[in-house]
Amino acid sequence: MNEKHKKVFEVLESLKIPYEVHYHPSAPTVEDALKYWKEIDASHCKNLFFRNHKGNKHYLVIFDHLQQLNIKELEQRLHQGKLTFASEERMQKYLRVKPGSVSPFGIINDEQHHVYLFIDKYLEKTEKISFHPNENTATVVIKMNDFIIFLEHFRNRFEFIQLYD
C-alpha cells in the first residue's frame, strides 16, 4: 500500500464505507487492467479528465469500461462547449493523479470543489463500482450507494447523464 492508496482508504473508513481492495501490477489502461478485473464482481469504469476551451472548468467523465465515447458527441450531450483532454499538469493540480490513474477518488485532493463529475446514467443502477485508488496498482470496489455518499461528502458537483445510446 502506498500513500495515495492509504489516503483513499482512510477517507472511506472515516465515512464508514466498506470496500474491497485488489492489488495488481500497474494497469494504466483498461486493456492492461482487464486481466486483473476478471475475478472482481463490479462495474469497472473509464475515467476521463477534460477541460473546457477556456481552461477554467474541468470535468471528470465516468462510464463503463466497455463503452467508447466520441468527444464531439460528448460535447453535445454535456453542453459545456469544446472539450479537450486535460494536461498532466492539470490532473496533478486538481486531482493529484497521473495519467493512467485518474479516478473519482481524486476529488479527495480537490479542496476548492472545482472538478465537476458527469457519471453515465447506466452506472446509476449498478450494485458495485470499481476505481483505482488514485494510483493504478490496485482496484477498489464499493457499493454504488456508498459512492454517492463519498461524492456528497466532498461536495463536488456531479450528475448522472446518458453519455451514449
Residue range of the domain that includes 27: 3-161
What's the structural domain count of the chain?
1
Q: What is the DSSP string of the chain?
A: --HHHHHHHHHHHHTT---EEEE-S---SHHHHHHHHTT--SEEEEEEEEEETTSS-EEEEEEETT----HHHHHHHHTS-SEEEPPHHHHHHHT---TT---GGGGGG-TT---EEEEEGGGGG-SEEEE-SSSTTEEEEEEHHHHHHHHHHHT--EEEE----
Find the CATH number of the domain harbouring 41.
3.90.960.10
Q: What is the pLDDT along the chain (165 residues), one digit of tens a residue?
A: 799 999 999 999 999 999 999 999 999 888 888 888 988 999 999 999 999 999 999 999 999 998 888 888 888 888 888 999 999 999 999 999 999 999 999 999 999 999 999 999 999 999 999 999 999 999 999 999 999 999 999 999 999 998 877
Task: Quote the pLDDT of residue 68.
Answer: 84
pLDDT for the residue numbered 58: 96
Q: Structure pTM? A: 0.92
